[in-house]
Amino acid sequence: MPKAVKGVLVECDPSIKAIILKIDQPLHDYIVEDLDDQTLVVKEAKLPDLKQKLEEVSSRSQIPDLA
């Protein structure tokens, strides 16, 4: 029997989408459907966790100001 999963439509740049795909890769726990190069459907319950992981990746990749 089919099972319905609540999802959230996420539109983002292809570079951010690539990061989300990499985060999802080990367990396939976040993405419900990969729609196109800028759009994903993500499990609603996992969205806060995904946002946190994206912020962690973003903070690691930022170059500090050399002022």
Share of the chain above pLDDT 70, in %: 93
Query: Residue 32 is inside which H or E element, if any?
Result: strand 31-36
27 pLDDT more than 60? yes
List 33's β-bridge partners, or say none: 41
State pTM to two decimals: 0.82
67 pLDDT more than 60? no
